[in-house]
Amino acid sequence: TSTTRVLAAELPLRIGDRVTVQGWLHRGRPLKSVVFLVLRDRSGLAQAVFTEPEAMAAASGHPEETVLSVTGTVTANPQAPGGVELTSPEVVALSGPAEAPPFDLYRPGVPATLPTVLDHAPVTLRHPLLRAPHVISAASVAGFRAALDGLGFTEIHTPKVVASATESGANVFAIDWFGTPSYLAQSPQFFKQAMVGVFERVYETGPVFRAEPHDTARHLAQYTSLDAELGFVGDHRDVMAVLREVLAGMTETVARQAGQECALLDVTLPEVPERIPEIHFSRAQELIAAGTGEDPRGEPDLAPAHERWLSEWALREHGSEFLFVTGYPMVKRPFYTHPEPGRPEYSNSFDLLFRGLELVTGGQRLHRYEDYLAALAARGESARPYEGYLSAFRHGMPPHGGFALGLERWTARLTGADNIRRATLFPRDLHRLTP
Ligand code: AMO
């Protein structure tokens, strides 16, 4: 008799039925008069209990991670995972592992260093604790999309090999494109701006590349950028308002779609305030000077330690785990940045800090062609490499702005990971190109 596959999490609804569960042998426990097999599938764990001598023999000797198909009768047992187990089971091995994982995947902790976890990612990520951040990451992207779809945005996909750098200051990977020098895209910046002229509101989720020469817990050489761009804004505050909706949508979707994983990792989801507190860069520097005794005034950017300090300040003063820092100095922002009216040394841009870390960068952009020419000239740059990009602005572009959120940073902050690499399936960095 053949039955269709049922997921572990569905078993409580199938008591009394004869069903087939398929998955990996999470843990086998052969005892004297009974053999317990715990199977793991995408939904969770299911236990099968073998008591007949012949069935016990068939269930014994499979190493963990053997792929099994078990057909049995769903029987209530409060002690089993999910309160049910398969009794009178028959087992078929679909494939066996050639070697054991570097550590037991069924133990509640992970007794391995990060390099060991990453070196053996195809198998170590099967550990429920190591898999969970990636389920949360997937739910976050689903929430990002749903929120922006709801706001009338169109999803786009843009090239990852480009002819010019976009983010001044960030390092580029040069590649040989059929003999033409080119770069791996640092950001979809130019394309998303140009597509405002076509769709008004666009978003993209995809890989971007930064040739980061430093080895930190928050930088990758390839990361996933969640980008949005919208036209007809008054200034950067309209962009911040959209970002607020997106963060709320991401958090809600994580709660709904990855509740089990959040519980497993003890994740406390942040509250996204109706109005995320904001502070101007110049004011932030004054606070830091007064609060830490270090004087950052004159620095064009915030040091990581000062971002942490500001995050704590926002939590203390405003009860918010999010803080917008606005008005970063123009010298630290790319040429497409819109200056602050009245104080042109500052910009209509922002960073969003979340739990001590820069999570998002965004702002209002220049939208007039002549302003781009002037901005490039003022920076001593030729307009020629940017001609393709600038053509959008020769045909009429509305005031617009957007943002980019680093997915791995979000997931790492959400799950309390000490390193962004724990939120990355296969990290690419200074030292890592495999697996
Ligand atoms: P920026 O360069 O600040 O802005 O990047 C946006 C966000 O991406 C994340 N991030 C990184 N994550 C992991 N590893 C890295 N090396 C890394 N670098 C950046 C951060 C950061 O806040 N075009 C602009 C965005 C815009 O204005 O729309 C941009 O790329 O979370």
* CA-to-CA separations, 248 to 145, 183, 255, 272, 274, in angstroms, rounded: 12, 34, 11, 6, 9
* b/e 95-121 (16+ beta carbons within 10 angstroms → b): eeeeeebebebbeeebebeeeebbeeb
Q: Would the CB of 37 count as within 6 Å of ligand 1?
A: no
Annotated binding residue 228? no
Measured from the CA of 351, which atom of ligand 1 is nearest? 22
Please report how many Cα atoms fall inside a 13 Å half-sphere around the Cα of residue 30, on the Cβ side: 11
Ligand 1, atom 20, residue with closest C-alpha: 406
Pairing type for strands 154-155 and 201-209 reads parallel
Q: Which residue among 409, 414, 420 is best mutated to probe the pocket of ligand 1, counting the most ligand atoms within 8 A of its Cβ? A: 409
Q: Would the CB of 362 count as within 6 Å of ligand 1?
A: yes
Q: Would the CB of 188 count as within 6 Å of ligand 1?
A: no
This model's pTM is above 0.90: yes
Annotated binding residue 361? yes
Distance 246 CA to ligand 1 centre (A): 17
Distance 360 CA to ligand 1 centre (A): 7
Measured from the CA of 186, which atom of ligand 1 is nearest? 30
Q: Which residue among 357, 358, 361, 409 is best mutated to probe the pocket of ligand 1, counting the most ligand atoms within 8 A of its Cβ? A: 361
Please, is 25 exposed, middle or buried when counting C-beta atoms within 10 Å of its C-beta (0-12, 13-18, 19+)? buried
Q: Would the CB of 47 count as within 6 Å of ligand 1?
A: no
Distance 178 CA to ligand 1 centre (A): 29
* CA-to-CA separations, 427 to 105, 106, 167, 424, in angstroms, rounded: 21, 24, 21, 6
Measured from the CA of 228, which atom of ligand 1 is nearest? 28
Ligand 1, atom 17, residue with closest C-alpha: 219
Contact 164, 152 (CB under 8 A): no
d(CA 347, CA 380): 19
Annotated binding residue 365? yes
Distance 405 CA to ligand 1 centre (A): 7
* CA-to-CA separations, 2 to 8, 37, 70, 71, 307, in angstroms, rounded: 18, 21, 11, 9, 59
pLDDT at 168 (0 to 100): 67
Pairing type for strands 278-280 and 322-326 reads parallel
Contact 172, 165 (CB under 8 A): yes
SS3 (DSSP) at 166: coil
Contact 74, 17 (CB under 8 A): yes
Q: Cα dihedral sign for 58, 59, 64, 70?
A: positive
Ligand 1, atom 13, residue with closest C-alpha: 219
Q: Minimal CA–CA distance to 160: which of 208, 195, 194?
A: 208
Q: Which residue has the tokens 């309390």?
A: 416
Q: Would the CB of 220 count as within 6 Å of ligand 1?
A: yes
Q: Would the CB of 403 count as within 6 Å of ligand 1?
A: yes
pLDDT in tens, the chain (435 residues): 457 899 999 999 999 999 999 999 999 999 999 999 999 999 999 999 999 999 999 999 999 999 999 999 999 999 998 899 999 999 999 999 999 999 999 999 999 999 999 999 999 999 999 999 999 999 999 999 999 999 999 999 999 999 887 776 669 999 999 999 899 999 999 999 999 999 999 999 999 999 988 899 999 999 999 999 999 999 999 999 999 999 999 999 999 999 999 999 999 999 999 999 999 999 999 999 999 999 999 999 999 999 999 999 999 999 999 999 999 999 999 999 999 999 999 999 999 999 999 999 999 999 999 999 999 999 999 999 899 999 999 999 999 999 999 999 999 999 999 999 999 999 999 999 999
Q: Would the CB of 158 count as within 6 Å of ligand 1?
A: no
Q: Would the CB of 338 count as within 6 Å of ligand 1?
A: no
Measured from the CA of 187, which atom of ligand 1 is nearest? 30
pLDDT at 169 (0 to 100): 60
Ligand 1, atom 3, residue with closest C-alpha: 361
Amino acid found at 254: V
Q: Which residue has the tokens 């992207």?
A: 141
pLDDT at 81 (0 to 100): 86
Ligand 1, atom 27, residue with closest C-alpha: 362
Ligand 1, atom 19, residue with closest C-alpha: 406
Q: Minimal CA–CA distance to 242: which of 14, 35, 401, 46?
A: 401
**Residue 306 backbone phi and psi in degrees, to 5:** -75, -30
The complex's ipTM works out to: 0.99
